[in-house]
Structure 1
Amino acid sequence: MTEANGAPAEAGPQVRMQVLAQYVRDMSFENMVAQKGLQTADVQPDIQVQVSLDARKRTTEHQYEVISKFKVTSKNKTNGDTLFLLELDYGGIFHIENVPEEQLHPFLLIECPRLLFPFVRRIISDVTRDGGFPPLNIDTVDFLALYRMELARRAEAQKAAQPLAN
């Protein structure tokens, strides 16, 4: 934007974001093939990835914790047997300033997980490889679409919870 005299308009304060820490909060990997002694000759894996997000304000000013939860299930297409199950809760602690209050929730649940995602992808790849399977490089997650789907789901749940008018 420019002012009437052609000079650039004064922008608001610059958004400041810093990743202070990132960590595995919880992780589980179960290799059903090894546990049950299944044969892998006719395995056609079907992989499902579920993602959920959580964010909360910390007691320190301008600090937030964001948790990305991934549940990766691999089943054999031929008979439905589970091959492996991986659950990963990956967290980040962020220092965030100058984000307007009405934009903070989407910022925490879109931008923060997007920054953490490459690390999540590497962990999932390493764990599946170390667990006896080919390394799994999960597709990039569209956190904006995920956020919009969650808003729509909440709106539907709220609408369903309202009593019917007579």
Structure 2
Amino acid sequence: MAEENGATPQVRMSVLAQFVRDMSFENMVAQKGITGADVQPDIQVAVSLDARKRQADHQFEIVTKYKVTSKNKANGDTLFLLEVDYGGVFHVEGVPEEQLHPFLLIECPRMLFPFVRRIISDVTRDGGFPPLNIDTVDFLVLYRQEMARRAQAQTPAN
């Protein structure tokens, strides 16, 4: 009825649950006995997203996947590898259908990010390294890059 009066519907979003779906941490330094004197870490962070509708009305599950690789700049040896799949269940209402996909893959991961950042920091610290506070992820840029990649993949090769 709000749409009939020309008013935009009220967007409502709430986080119903957050969870670690999967996580692994491998400390290659401890396994291989690498000494700290010759270590110059180079850290790479890869992020991917997944969203799916749940059976309940207006509920969606969003999973952010982080792969953090630390390699020694001197010789390319891996120092540690951390993979975290962190999810959230969201109740979302009032978002127009054509805006729902970007909303789920931009706004929902933004809500989850501070929690997964803390997990990454704690796991690297507990794993024997200085705590790693990853830079803030720009989910809008990440979304645009993924949409461009999909568009490129769909265009036939000339």
> With structure 2 as the length reference, what TM-score do the two structures score?
0.95
Return the match for 2:24 from 21, 28, 36.
28
Return the match for 1:73 from 38, 63, 69.
69
- Shift in Å at residue 11 of structure 1? 2.6
- Shift in Å at residue 42 of structure 1? 1.4
The structure whose Rg is larger is 1
| 1:126 partnered with 2:122 | yes
Deviations 1:47-90 (A, max 9, x none): 00000000000000000000000000000000001000000000
Residue 115 of structure 1 corresponds to 111
Residue 134 of structure 2 corresponds to 138
Structure 1 residue runs of 4 or more that deviate by more than 2 Å after TM superposition: none
What RMSD over aligned residues (CA atoms) do the two structures have, in Å? 1.1
Q: Which runs of 5+ in 1 are unaligned?
A: 1-8
Q: Distance in 2 between matches of 1:10 and 1:100?
A: 14
Number of residue equivalences: 154
Residue 55 of structure 1 corresponds to 51
3-state SS of paired residue (1:27): strand
Give the letter for the 1:139 counterpart. Answer: D
Q: Distance in 2 between matches of 1:20 and 1:71?
A: 25
Q: Which runs of 5+ in 2 are unaligned?
A: none
Residue 5 of structure 1 corresponds to none
Residue 85 of structure 1 corresponds to 81
- Shift in Å at residue 163 of structure 1? 6.3
Give the letter for the 2:41 counterpart. Answer: P
Q: How does 1:97-112 map to 2 (within 5 A)?
A: 97-112=93-108
3-state SS of paired residue (2:117): helix
